[in-house]
Homo-oligomer: A and B are copies of this chain.
Amino acid sequence: MKRQRNGEIWDFEHEMPANQTATEVVLGVDGGTTSTVCICMPLIPFSHSLPPDPVPVLARAVAGCSNHNSVGETAARETLEQVMADALSKSGSNRSAVRAICLAVSGVNHPLDQQRILAWLRDIFPSHVRLYIQNDAIAALASGTMGKLHGCVLIAGTGTIAYGFTEEGKEARAAGAGPTLGDWGSGYGIAAQALTAIIRSHDGRGPHTMLTSSILQTLGLSSADELIGWTYADPSWARIAALVPVVVSCAEAGDEVANKILVDSVQELASSVKAVVQRLGLCGKDGTDSFPLVMVGGVLEAKKRWDIGKEVINYVSKDYPGVQSIRPKVEPAVGAALLAWSFLMKESYNENYRS
């Protein structure tokens, strides 16, 4: 399939009209800064209050980055269209079978971002197709709650964000603003602090640390000076974030500098969660109500002795003992598809209730 024009991506001319008895589908898209995943799911009957486990998936398609902040609007749009077209094609389905789409895309931080995406989606899909545009954090939350928009999600991979929803639809977020704006608990933040500690030790501003030999060896560098050229050579955040396991190993081996970086990061991550829980009142009036905390991303999943995710939960539960941590069993794109399904179910319920 070609990527240039809508007609080419979607092949409007040769599209067959949907058979009335064809399987209706929903699409869930998780658009991250490294890749974009689209899941095509058959429409589960609304008689179920929770989706079946395992979730039925007709097809899965993958594409590159769809964050408009990173690749620009045109490229982001093309990637999103392509991944949806691919998922439909793999399902043996087409646009006319689609009932709802949940597009959860990183970089959607403002109502204007949502409106812009809605405008071009409306050019492609008929008006009866329900469209939901969200930040990608929502897909991660839904992947833990199986489509229910309630609770808080903490994502900590290369970047980090905390996002929460109340049952009434109130939402709040913390962090997720990128390295310049202080996402210090992220994988990038942890690794950048480790690199900084090496420079400070090297030039006499900071204490000796095991991070120097461990990280220089990992990168194949012979001196701390060479780190300057290394960081300038490629500004990719993911490349720096990939050093997190080395920091964890040094902390486990007793290095105080590495340990302090991890402790500080745990506090940063916990403070993001607590800010969201506090603003939404997820913990109830006396602070003891139960609420789900979905934990997603490489920084939180490290199954190491020094377990960052576990420490974050410990910190949060000191203030909010009702926190229920969840490690999702499905990927965020499935969460997005479940969200599309649950939005549709809610609308259908509301319509039936009104009529």
A231–B180 CB distance below 8 A: yes
Kindly state whether residue A155 has any CB partner on chain B within 8 Å: no
A227–B174 CB distance below 8 A: no
- A204-B278, A275-B203 known; A110 vs B196 contact (CB < 8 Å): no
B110–A225 CB distance below 8 A: yes
Kindly state whether residue A102 has any CB partner on chain B within 8 Å: no
Q: State A47–B177 Cα separation when bound (angstroms).
A: 60
Oligomeric state, in copies:
2
Kindly state whether residue A271 has any CB partner on chain B within 8 Å: yes
Kindly state whether residue A173 has any CB partner on chain B within 8 Å: yes
Kindly state whether residue A302 has any CB partner on chain B within 8 Å: no
Kindly state whether residue A175 has any CB partner on chain B within 8 Å: yes
A228–B177 CB distance below 8 A: yes
Kindly state whether residue A114 has any CB partner on chain B within 8 Å: no
Residues of chain B within 8 A of A272, CB atoms compared: 203, 205
Distance in angstroms from A229 CB to nearest chain B CB is: 7
B174–A204 CB distance below 8 A: yes
Q: State A232–B70 Cα separation when bound (angstroms).
A: 8
A177–B227 CB distance below 8 A: yes
Give the residue of B107, B226, B231 whose beta carbon is less than 8 angstroms from that of A178.
B231
Q: State A242–B272 Cα separation when bound (angstroms).
A: 28
Give the one of A107, A200, A279 with max B CB within 10 A. Answer: A200
Residues of chain B within 8 A of A109, CB atoms compared: 225, 228-229
Q: State A227–B172 Cα separation when bound (angstroms).
A: 17
Give the one of A200, A203, A271 with max B CB within 10 A. Answer: A203
Distance in angstroms from A207 CB to nearest chain B CB is: 12
Give the residue of B107, B181, B204 whose beta carbon is less than 8 angstroms from that of A276.
B204
Give the one of A69, A177, A235 with max B CB within 10 A. Answer: A177
A232–B178 CB distance below 8 A: yes
Q: State A177–B36 Cα separation when bound (angstroms).
A: 34
B200–A69 CB distance below 8 A: no
A175–B203 CB distance below 8 A: yes
Residues of chain B within 8 A of A271, CB atoms compared: 205
Kindly state whether residue A133 has any CB partner on chain B within 8 Å: no
Kindly state whether residue A312 has any CB partner on chain B within 8 Å: no
Kindly state whether residue A195 has any CB partner on chain B within 8 Å: yes
Residues of chain B within 8 A of A195, CB atoms compared: 180-182
- In the complex, what residue of chain B is closest to A173 when comparing beta carbons? B203
Distance in angstroms from A212 CB to nearest chain B CB is: 13
Q: State A178–B180 Cα separation when bound (angstroms).
A: 13
- In the complex, what residue of chain B is closest to A272 when comparing beta carbons? B205
8 Å CB contacts to B: which residues of A158-204? 172-178, 180-182, 192-193, 195-196, 199-200, 203-204
Distance in angstroms from A91 CB to nearest chain B CB is: 34
A232–B69 CB distance below 8 A: yes
- In the complex, what residue of chain B is closest to A191 when comparing beta carbons? B180
Given contact pairs A110-B229, A180-B231, A182-B193, enumerate 4 new A-B contacts (beta carbons under 8 Å): A69-B233, A174-B205, A178-B231, A180-B195
Question: 17 pairs across A/B with beta carbons < 8 Å?
Answer: A69-B232, A69-B233, A107-B232, A109-B225, A175-B205, A176-B228, A177-B228, A178-B232, A180-B192, A180-B240, A181-B192, A181-B228, A182-B195, A182-B199, A204-B275, A205-B271, A205-B275
